[in-house]
């Protein structure tokens, strides 16, 4: 007699597949959470590297920030008028395209020219732009507090009086003054009356909406004392954006959208 090899029945195969699917369903949330935590750690590491880069720049410029001028369509990034944070700090990271590594949060895997309309977008410069904030091909997902720029008010109109700008790094309460953070554009001018975005990643006329992005169950922020912390999005309205920013005053209706949990 021939020995018959016993095979799996269809029912047994379905049971095994069901068990594997159940295990994956149980493990996936934990794996995704662990991956998200790892990405948040990398994001914080990027901001810590930026803290060192800002420190080197400030040491060489008598504690004064860059002047914040936009460049024209020629001579990037060597145009002396172009002194926004990315171009001003570029020599300190030996940049070029390789500088994108620390300009990008690891969660910002998508790309949108000029403006980002979702929370996981990295903004970049459009080739047809009249004023270039940084060279074409550079991407970033971090934005700077524009009130830190050492602006000349005769050249650029400010949303606040020039006296409200910080200009230098030597400030009291530096642990509450934001420098760089997760953002949908390269910089912004938040005000007390800025309403929160309608959904995560939405940008309208409110400058604070450029920074109100939930990538890490909150947002990662580099402060002027060079500390890096994760804060809840509602905390953005309690930061000292400019010298006259009233952290206890909200002139919008005060209602938070449902998607903002913290």
- The mean per-residue pLDDT over the stretch 184-204 comes to 84
- List helix spans (H) across the chain: 10-60, 85-89, 100-103
State which H helix or E strand residue 258 sits in.
none
pLDDT band at residue 130, thresholds of 50, 70 and 90? very low
The CA distance from 51 to 35, in Å, is 25
pLDDT band at residue 17, thresholds of 50, 70 and 90? confident
CB 115 within 8 A of CB 184: yes
Predicted model pTM:
0.79
Does residue 69 register a pLDDT over 80? no
- Give all strands of the β-sheet with 110-113 in edge-to-edge order: 110-113, 121-124, 139-140
Give the pLDDT score at 73. Answer: 42
Question: 100 versus 183: which is more confidently predicted?
Answer: 183
- pLDDT digits over 33-56, tens only? 666 667 778 899 999 999 999 999
| Domain definitions of the chain by residue range | 38-238
Cα 67 → chain centroid: 21
CB 110 within 8 A of CB 120: yes
């Amino acid at each position: 007699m021939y020995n018959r090899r016993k095979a799996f029945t269809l029912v047994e195969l379905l049971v095994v597949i069901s068990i594997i699917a159940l295990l994956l369903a149980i493990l996936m949330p934990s794996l995704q959470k662990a991956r998200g935590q790892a990405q948040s750690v990398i994001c914080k590491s990027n901001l810590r590297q930026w803290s060192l880069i800002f420190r080197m720049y400030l040491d060489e410029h008598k504690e004064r920030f860059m002047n914040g001028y936009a460049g024209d369509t020629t001579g990037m990034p060597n145009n002396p008028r172009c002194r926004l944070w990315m171009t001003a700090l570029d020599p300190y990271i030996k940049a070029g395209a390789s500088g994108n590594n620390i300009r990008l949060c690891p969660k910002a895997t998508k790309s949108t020219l000029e403006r980002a309309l979702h929370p996981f977008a990295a903004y970049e410069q459009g080739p047809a732009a009249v004023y270039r904030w940084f060279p074409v091909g550079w991407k970033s997902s971090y934005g700077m507090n524009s009130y830190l720029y050492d602006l000349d008010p005769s050249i650029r109109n400010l949303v606040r009086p020039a006296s409200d700008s910080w200009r230098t790094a030597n400030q009291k309460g530096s642990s509450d003054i934001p420098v760089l953070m997760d953002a949908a554009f390269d910089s912004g001018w938040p005000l007390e009356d800025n309403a929160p975005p309608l959904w995560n990643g939405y940008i309208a006329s409110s400058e604070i909406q450029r920074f109100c992005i939930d990538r890490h169950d909150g947002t990662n922020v580099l402060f002027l004392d060079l500390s890096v912390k994760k804060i809840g999005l509602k905390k953005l309205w309690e930061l000292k954006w400019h010298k006259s920013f009233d952290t206890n005053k909200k002139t919008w209706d005060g209602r938070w959208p449902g998607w903002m949990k913290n």
